[in-house]
Structure 1
């Protein structure tokens, strides 16, 4: 078990910095930015702990198919995770798929305080908010479900494609 003390640094990778449109071409400058950060941390003996999604879903995916409200998000998140695992996984041992997966459904799709600011109009009125988009009765459950499926898909990908087996690890050491 790794002690996450002064020798560790937790940060999030911006999906839009690595894949500007949420899917499609990878931005080499974005990859280089994180390579530089990770390399500097490692140079000083600091272990990177990386979060893949921290309340910053690419706007293009929100615009195209309502982001976390669509099952399409699972495939796109998994492809993004694949890029991160491939590009940074040789130096990153500790991955967090989704930061606080309970918060985005509640604050983004129930109360409408976080983007995409969805909230039922009756709830928004009672909270003094001026939103007219969303359904607080169902959207938090849909987005929570999407986050769980995205997490499971990325973990499955990591285990199948990137995780070094215990046997191989023992042979290397």
Structure 2
């Protein structure tokens, strides 16, 4: 399917769809564990944003934003996208690049999160891609470099400090605690 056809297609209420290299994927409705993890992640960014209102333009989730890759016929809706700059006036979703994209791994999305999404987010220009995997109790950080992604694995109790957001310390341990408390 083309991006144009995908944009015109009508889906079923209550579902979110992505286009992956011309193939439509129905995204799972988040389970309680995913929901709990997202709350903890968003709260960490919200706390930082309140303390440093000039450093983050906005944090969007699935339905709030999209990443368009016309050359691959792909449209992605990341779990979380962090934008430092304000949006451009035209072609917002094909030109506004989030600095950080975060995916919370679920069994049905694992192969996409670790595989094709990493490639697509790099091609789009994302500076950092975080893959948060409660089952592994680790967060894989992919940081853009001229050679491709540079990988770094973070495990509790370590916190991740990011150059893009001075003073921000992301605590993946809190995310994994939320996953465990919700039954995962």
Could you state the TM-score of these two structures normalised by the residue count of structure 2? 0.29
Could you state the TM-score of these two structures normalised by the residue count of structure 1? 0.30
Higher-Rg member (1/2) = 1
Structure holding more strand per residue: 2
The structure with higher relative contact order (CA 8 Å, sep 6+) is 1
